[in-house]
Structure 1
Amino acid sequence: MTVRVDSHVHLWNRATDPQDWIDPQSMAPIDRDFGQADLRSMLDETHVDRAVVVHASNSVEESVRLSRLDPEVVAGLVAWVDLTGDVVAQLDLIRATATVPVVGTRHLVQIDPDPEWLLREDVGRGLSALADEGMRFDLVVRDWQLPQARTVASRHSDLIFVLDHLGGPPAPGEDLSEWESGLRNLASRPNVVAKLSGLISGLAPGSWQVDDLRRVVEIALTAFGAERLLYGSDWPLAELGGGAAGWGAAAEHLLAELTDEERRRVFGLNAVAVYSLD
Structure 2
Amino acid sequence: MEFLDTHQHLIYRDELSYGWVETHQTLSNGSYTLADYDALTKDKGIIGTLFMEADADEADYQNEARLIVGLIGGRLLGQVAACRPETDAGFDAWLEEAPDLGIKGYRRILHESPDDLSRGETFRRNLRKIGAKGLPFDLCFLARQHGVAEELLRACDDQVFVLDHCGVPDIAGGGFTPWAASMRRLAAFPNLNCKLSGITAYCAPDKFETDDLAPWVAHVLDCFGPDRIVWGSDWPVANLGAGMPKWIDQSRALLAALSPDEAEAIAQHNARRIYRLAA
Same fold (TM over 0.5): yes
Cα gap change, 1:70 to 1:89, in 2 (>3 Å): same
SS at match of 1:111: coil
Q: Which amino acid aligns with 1:162?
A: V
TM-score (norm 2): 0.91
**How do 1:127-276 and structure 2 match up within 5 A?**
127-172=127-172, 174-203=174-203, 206-276=206-276
Aligned counterparts of 1:235 and 1:21: Cα–Cα separation in 2: 15
Give RMSD over aligned pairs.
1.9
CA distance in 2, matches of 1:151, 1:236: 31
Query: What does residue 39 of structure 2 align with?
Result: 41
How far apart are residue 232 of structure 1 and its match?
0.7
Q: Match for residue 94 of structure 2?
A: 90
Q: For residue 70 of structure 1, report the CA deviation from its aligned partner.
A: 2.6
Q: How much has 1:242 moved relative to structure 2?
A: 2.9
Q: 1:172·1:213 contact (CA, 8 Å) conserved in 2?
A: no
What's the counterpart of residue 56 of structure 1?
Answer: 54
**Residue aligning to 1:65:** 67
User: Is the contact made by 1:60 and 1:94 (CA closer than 8 Å) also made in structure 2?
Assistant: no
- Measured after TM superposition, the shift of residue 3 of structure 1 is 5.9
Unaligned runs of 5+ in 1: none
Alignment partners' CA distance in 2, 1:241 and 1:53? 20
- State the 1:123 CA deviation: 0.2
Q: Provide, for residues 50-99 of structure 1, a one-character-per-residue CA deviation record: whole Å limited to 9, x for no partner.
A: 11111112512212212222321211210012212243310223543x3x
| Structure 2 equivalent of residue 28 of structure 1 | 26
- Where 1:103 maps in the other structure, the secondary structure is strand
Q: CA deviation at 1:207?
A: 3.4
Deviates more, 1:46-55 or 1:175-184: 175-184
* Closer/same/farther in 2, CA of residues 29 and 264 from structure 1, 3 Å limit: same
**2:16 pairs with 1:12:** no
Q: Distance in 1 between matches of 2:202 and 2:40?
A: 19
TM-score (norm 1): 0.91
Identity of aligned residues (%): 28
Q: Which runs of structure 1 show a deviation greater than 3 angstroms over 4 or more consecutive aligned residues? A: 93-96, 202-207
* Range with greater deviation from structure 2 (258-267 or 165-174): 165-174
SS at match of 1:127: helix
Q: Which 5+ residue runs of structure 2 have no aligned equivalent?
A: none
